Structures are given as structure tokens and as C-alpha cells.
Amino acid sequence: MSRALAFGVAVGGRPASRAIRTRRATRGRAPRARETRAKVDQTLNERVANLQPSKTVALTDLARAMRDAGEDVIGLAAGEPDFATPRAVGDAGKAAIDAGKTKYSPNDGDAKLRNAIARKLEEENGLTYDGKTEIVLSNGAKQSVAQCVMATCGPGDEVLVPAPYWVSYPEMVRLSGAESVIVRTTADEGFLVTPEQLRKAITPRSRLLILCSPSNPSGAVYPKETLEELAKIVVEHPRLMVLSDEIYEHIVYAPAEHHSIAAMDGMWERTMVVNGFSKSFAMTGWRLGYVAAPKHFARAMSMIQSQITSGPNSISQEAALAALELGYKGGEDVAAMVRAFEQRRDFVSARLNAIQGVKLPKVDGAFYVFPDVSAFFGGNASAEGFGPVADVDELCRYILEKGQVALVPGSAFGVPECLRISYAASNATLEEALSRIERCLSLDVFTRNSRR
């Protein structure tokens, strides 16, 4: 597959996908086989047919494939810590295998781990849950988020999704049959939804508000005062619930602090808290997340899970117990990782802010920056050896082709003026990547438009 076609799959999705399907359907088949296939009704579930592919996954896979083909590509698209899982956690996983703990786990997860998570939530977050009935472990926080949406939303419902949003939120809403209502935040407000915006967006059909703090992709962290104001509005609407995605909970840079909206007055009964082990403990491949929610909703998510995957990975659960034993913030291993991320944030932010035309809001958590790069596309924006740059998707394609750095366009997150850069990479890698980006956007090769 050519690079242009591959990027079309990653960013545009459907045209390239149809071309690939056509070739696969006709390549090397006898006429009779083709005629037989043509009679098959290939209709898909409409909700599935309308899904968009994840641009972050596609671009990460594309960068990996280009590297495997011998190209010197730097991938800054993935949302994955580049640190090893803490040794004690890995050792616990190995011990679980040696001890034969390789059988199916209970549908909701191991009781010992669920109780340990309940203690963590109470002692660290001020939230009280019954580990037996109000916590459901899943194969990653992504599954937990999907089950929250499916358990609470359906046709006729609206889900309030502040933008920028994680790429999968609107697609999960689409699968449920509900409708996403995008609430566009601004860089000037730190990419945080304001109480005024929330109040204006709520209708009688509003069923769920999705909050992600610290945020993927912007790195924004909701202050306690803002969460309190949002909570006051939510409790005025009996049908409105909140999905609080807190997967980046421990990757926060002082003076910012993490707070859960579930701890605000009147919010425990109407909040589903999603968290996991992938980011804080560098356990992405272990695939283990959880949701804590009132019994009625937890039971519904448990039923969904029983018909989709059943219980989560038994080995990962033993490792997760060891992770919690390091301390809720992961001990020195995780503390060192967060310090490294903070230093990288400072480095990447300084380099980007030095590029004329780039505007970067403050980043308080996670490991992404989300700069406004609208000065580099549209209007008369053009790159030497590439041509006009119409939008942020084309800008990312230009940087990939000419600078060999894979980034994610902000269109994937509902904000087409921006792009996302992950700084979950070594200092040397970030140094080289920023140098390449600077060269791509320099006045020597790039004509910018007049917007600033």
C-alpha cells in the first residue's frame, strides 16, 4: 500500500477502505466465485457501518509499519507511556502464571482486587463503594467506558461530549443508538467546559455528560471549584448522569490536583467513575480497567460484560494487586515517570511556543500537548515540495511525508484547529522530532496563512 493510500485509511477512512475491499474481492478469484459473492447481502448494522476508525490507532499502526519497512519515522501518535511496568508488578504477573492462576476469573473480576480498589477509592478519592456489588473490572478502561454508555443510553438520548474529546467517545455513543451533542470548549478557557456552556447544552433528552480529567488530548485538569459548579447544574436534572473518565488520574503536574466529580455534593448517585492501571502504572498491554458506580448501574454493566467478554484477564488482576500495594500513586517508579513527563512537557511546550504561528494552552496533566496550528493550513498556506495545505489532516500528512513524524490531527478530537503530540517518548526522540517539526514549519519552506 502506498503511503498516501495508507494515510487515507488512517485519516480519511472510507474511500481508501472501499478501494482495498474492491481489490480483495476480485483478486485471484474465478468468475463463478465472484458471481457467488455478489449474491451475498453484505449489509452491515447501520450503527456499525457509520462508525469512524480510530485515527490514533491507525496512525500509530502506520508509523510502526513505515519503521518496519526501513523508514526513519518517529511516532508521537500513541497514548502509551514509554516506561516499563514496575518490576514488582511484572513479577506478580509471572508468579501468577507459575502458580497456575490462568483460568477464567469471575465475571466482575477477582473479589480481592475489587475490595482493594474500593479501599483505594475511599482513602484517596473520598468515595465509598461496595467492592462486591459496585465495582466491575473489565479488559481495559476503554471497555468500561463503552459499557457505561451502553448501560445508560439508547435511541432518543443525548450525550454531552465536551470537545476536544477522546476519539472513541462519539463512536461509542453512536453504537448505543444515542446522539452526541458536542460542547466546544476553547483554548482561552483551558479547554474546560464552563458552567454556562453546560447549562446551555442540557435538554430534556440529555442523559449523560462525559468528563475526562486529566484530559486526553489537551492535558487539561478540572479544578475542584469548576467541578463543584458543574455538579450544581447536573443535580438540577434528574435524568442527567456523568461518566467521569479518570484514567490519567496520577499524571498531574503541581500546582494542579486531581479531583473526582463523584465526590461533589449530590454526585455519587449519578456518577460512573472509570479508571484503570494502563497509564499510571505503565500497564497498557495488561488490559485492565474498572468502573465504580451505584449498584443498579454496576449490575447492568456486569450483565453486558457477561455477554461480551466475561471476566477480565486473571494474570493482569494479580499484577494490579501488586500495583496497588506500591501505593495508590505507584511508589517511586511511578513518581519518577511523572517527573520525567513533567520535564518533557516543559521541553516540548518551550519548543512549540518558539515556532511563530503555534499557540499552545497550558498543560496540567496526562502526556500530550494540543497546540493550535491553524496558521499553517487553509487560505494561502503552502509547503515547498508538497503544495497547498487545506486542513489539519493535510498538515499532518505533510509532516509525516516530509518530516517523518506521525502526529494526530485535531479533527479526530473534534477541534480541527489543533493537533495532538504525545510526549511519551525519550528525550532524544523528542529533541529530534521537534527539530523535524520546526524545519517543516519554518518560513524557508512553508507559507503560512494570515490567521494567528
Residues 218-261 pLDDT 10s: 999 999 999 999 999 999 999 999 999 999 999 999 999 999 99
pLDDT tens digit string along 274-324? 999 999 999 999 999 999 999 999 999 999 999 999 999 999 999 999 999
The whole-number pLDDT of residue 260 equals 98
Residue 452 lies in a domain: no
**What is the domain extent for residue 163?**
87-329
| Residue from 366, 50, 371 nearest 180 by CA | 50
Place of cell 518533557: 344
Do 300 and 176 fall into the same domain?
Answer: yes
* Total domain count, the chain: 3
**337 shares its domain with 324:** no
pLDDT in tens, 386-441: 999 999 999 999 999 899 999 999 999 999 999 999 999 999 999 999 999 999 99
* Residue length of the chain: 452
Q: What is the mean pLDDT of residues 120-135?
A: 97
pLDDT at residue 13, as a whole number: 46
Are 93 and 215 in a shared domain?
yes
Rg of the chain, C-alpha, whole Å: 23
Task: Report the chain's terminal Cα–Cα distance, integer Å.
Answer: 37
Same domain, yes or no: 202 and 312? yes
pLDDT in tens, 60-82: 777 778 888 888 899 998 889 99
Domain boundary among 269, 295, 329: 329
**Residue 43 falls within a domain, yes or no?**
no
pLDDT at residue 365 is higher than 70 = yes
Q: Lowest mean pLDDT: which of 40-44, 143-147, 154-158?
A: 40-44
Q: 309 with 365, same domain? A: no
- Looking from the CA of 158 toward its CB, the CA atoms found within 13 Å total 12
The count of other CB atoms within 10 Å of the CB of residue 95 is 14
HEC states along the chain? Answer: CCHHHHHHHHHHCHHHHHHHHHHHHHCCCCHHHHHHHHCCCCCCCHHHHCCCCCHHHHHHHHHHHHHHCCCCCEECCCCCCCCCCCHHHHHHHHHHHHCCCCCCCCCCCCHHHHHHHHHHHHHHHCCCCCCCCCEEEECCHHHHHHHHHHHHCCCCCEEEEEECCCCHHHHHHHHHCCEEEEEECCHHHCCCCCHHHHHHHCCCCEEEEEEECCCCCCCCCCCHHHHHHHHHHHCCCCCCEEEEECCCCCCECCCCCCCCHHHCCCCHHHEEEEEECCCCCCCHHHCCEEEECCHHHHHHHHHHHHHHCCCCCHHHHHHHHHHHHCCCCCHHHHHHHHHHHHHHHHHHHHHHHCCCCCECCCCCECCEECCECHHHCCCCCEECCCEECCCHHHHHHHHHHHHCEECEEHHHHCCCCEEEEECCCCHHHHHHHHHHHHHHCCCCCEECCCCC
Last residue of a domain, one of 329, 347, 367: 329
Q: Which amino acid is at 346?
A: D
Q: Are 110 and 154 part of one and the same domain?
A: yes
Alpha carbon distance 79, 213 (integer Å): 15
Q: Which amino acid is at 29?
A: R
Summarize pLDDT for 171-196 with one digit per residue, the tens: 999 999 999 999 999 998 999 999 99
pLDDT at 11: 56
> What is the arithmetic mean of pLDDT over 361-371?
96
Residues 77 and 91 in one domain: no
Residue scoring higher pLDDT (214 or 445): 214
Q: Would you state the pLDDT for residue 36?
A: 55
The closest of 47, 50, 22, 48 to 37, measured between CA atoms, is 22
Tell whether the torsion through CA atoms of 435, 436, 437 and 441 is positive or negative: positive
Residue 346 belongs to some domain of the structure:
yes
Q: For residue 293, what is the domain's CATH number?
A: 3.40.640.10
Q: Give residue 52's pLDDT.
A: 81
Q: Are residues 118 and 150 in the same domain?
A: yes
Task: Please indicate, yes or no, whether residues 236 and 143 belong to a single structural domain of this protein.
Answer: yes
- Are 31 and 147 in the same domain? no
What CATH code is carried by the domain that includes residue 375? 3.90.1150.10
Same domain for 278 and 359: no
Same domain (yes/no): 145, 268? yes
Mean pLDDT across the chain: 90
Last residue of a domain, one of 295, 329, 363: 329
Give per-residue pLDDT as tens, 3-51. Answer: 554 555 455 543 433 333 333 444 455 555 555 566 888 888 888 888 8
Does residue 156 lie in a domain region?
yes
Please report whether residue 7 resides in a domain.
yes
